[in-house]
Amino acid sequence: TLVHGDTDAEYEKIYEYEGSEMEPLVAKPFSPENIAIVREAPSVELDKSYIGSCTGAKYEDLEAAAKILKGRTVKIRTEILPASISIYKRAMENGLLKIFLDAGVTVGPPTCGACCGAHMGVLGKDEICISTTNRNFPGRMGHVDSQTYLSSPLVAAASAVTGKITDPRDLK
């Protein structure tokens, strides 16, 4: 999605980036600041992929995940919880929920869910998750001995397909 400023806006500096040249990142446990390029991240076996929360389950996020998951099957427990009821309805109307269900994903109601360790995907002891939430502190998504890697919806969806942290560009 392109973001544009007001036509009469004045800026101190303008930065331009070529999106295709940017590397997907992952935040390793236990801080959002503990980042690595996905291809350089540890090759750990994941227990689950969680695409949810207000930060990682907007409609555009679900569309991106659907492009990865269409025609594929997830290898690990995967939950998708849209960020709001309006997003849930739009995803349903446009066939995204069918794509997720056909891929073996559990689709839940709009809620904070596992992001705050409440329900729908809470992690158990020693479980490892890749998540589109915004925090990965010890115990944030469940058991204090679990681990959460933060990523984009594209990386989380690709990782759900392979069962390990995966750059979506590497899927065949």
Whether 12 is covered by a domain: the verdict is no
Instruction: Give 42's pLDDT tier (boundaries 50, 70, 90).
Output: confident
Q: Of all helices (H) and strands (E), which one includes residue 52?
A: strand 48-52
Average pLDDT on 73-89 reads: 97
Whether 11 is covered by a domain: the verdict is no
Structural domain of 110 = 23-170
Q: Of all helices (H) and strands (E), which one includes residue 149?
A: strand 147-150
Whether 4 is covered by a domain: the verdict is no
Among the listed ranges 25-29, 112-116, 147-151, which one has the minimum average pLDDT value? 112-116
Report the percent of the chain where pLDDT is more than 70: 99
Res. 145: pLDDT tops 80: yes
Number of C-beta neighbours around residue 161 at 10 A? 21
Read off the pLDDT of residues 95-120 as tens digits, 9 standing for 90 and up: 999 999 999 999 999 887 777 777 77
Q: What is the pLDDT of residue 5?
A: 84
Long-range Cβ pairs for the range 100-106 (8 Å, 24+): 100/65, 100/66, 100/69, 103/69, 103/70, 103/72, 103/73, 103/74, 103/78, 103/160, 104/73, 104/74, 104/78, 105/69, 105/74, 105/78, 105/79, 105/80, 105/160, 106/77, 106/78, 106/79, 106/80
User: Tokens at residue 41, please?
Assistant: 């991240």
Res. 3: pLDDT tops 80: no
Q: What is the pLDDT of residue 1?
A: 58
Question: Strand 128-131 to strand 147-150: parallel, antiparallel, or no bridges (unpaired)?
Answer: parallel
Whether 128 is covered by a domain: the verdict is yes
Q: What is the pLDDT of residue 163?
A: 98
**Averaged confidence pLDDT in the chain:** 93
Q: Which burial class, exposed, middle or buried, applies to 8 when counting CB atoms under 10 A from its CB (0-12, 13-18, 19+)?
A: exposed
Highest mean pLDDT among 52-56, 84-88, 108-112: 84-88
Whether 73 is covered by a domain: the verdict is yes
Average pLDDT on 60-82 reads: 98
Number of domains in the chain: 1
Res. 141: pLDDT tops 80: yes
Phi-psi region of 63 (alpha: psi -120 to 50; beta: other; left: phi over 0): alpha
Tell me the DSSP string of 108-130: --SS-GGGGTSSSS-B-TT-EEE
Whether 10 is covered by a domain: the verdict is no
Q: What is the pLDDT of residue 114?
A: 74
Instruction: Give 2's pLDDT tier (boundaries 50, 70, 90).
Output: confident
Instruction: Give the CATH number of the domain where residue 76 resides.
Output: 3.30.499.10
Whether 15 is covered by a domain: the verdict is no
Q: Phi first, then psi: what are they for 78, rounded to 5°?
A: -135, 125
Whether 98 is covered by a domain: the verdict is yes
Read off the pLDDT of residues 123-137 as tens digits, 9 standing for 90 and up: 999 999 999 999 998
CA of residue 33 relative to chain centroid, distance:
16
